[in-house]
Homo-oligomer: A and B are copies of this chain.
């Protein structure tokens, strides 16, 4: 990718009726820039990444960040960082789709995905 171009993240969103949809915007060994797309009431259960920091940035919709013993309301523009080892997740609590930019550094290896 030697010719960067401007990306409208929502154009890359992939929703699924079955479970949270994932899409990749950019990937290198250093970083994965992806999208987590949630239909109403879908969630990504509490989980943690060893050795990887996760950055969430809310693009569209309403929901909550899941943390250990806590839920934090999210609205578009909100950002949350889950440092390596810190359990985190997302739940769409609204009646509309929820789209969240999800960045992982370093990128997961194929095996660990």
Q: Does residue A84 face the partner (Cβ distance < 8 Å to B)? A: yes
- Hey, which chain B residues are within 8 Å of A55, CB to CB? 26, 31, 33, 103
Copies in the complex: 2
Q: Which residue of B lies closest to A65 (CB)?
A: B6
Knowing A30-B53, A31-B55, A55-B33, the reply to whether A4 touches B80 (Cβ < 8 A) is yes
A33 near B81 (CB under 8 angstroms)? yes
Knowing A57-B101, A67-B4, A88-B4, the reply to whether A79 touches B9 (Cβ < 8 A) is yes
Stretch at the interface among A37-45, A70-78, A90-98: A70-78
B2 near A105 (CB under 8 angstroms)? no
Q: Does residue A108 face the partner (Cβ distance < 8 Å to B)? A: no
- Hey, which chain B residues are within 8 Å of A86, CB to CB? 1-2, 4
Q: Does residue A7 face the partner (Cβ distance < 8 Å to B)? A: yes
- Hey, which chain B residues are within 8 Å of A25, CB to CB? 79, 81
Tell which of B7, B31, B81 touches A7, judged by Cβ atoms closer than 8 Å.
B81
Tell which of B1, B8, B79, B105 touches A6, judged by Cβ atoms closer than 8 Å.
B79
In angstroms, Cα B106 to Cα A103, docked, is: 12
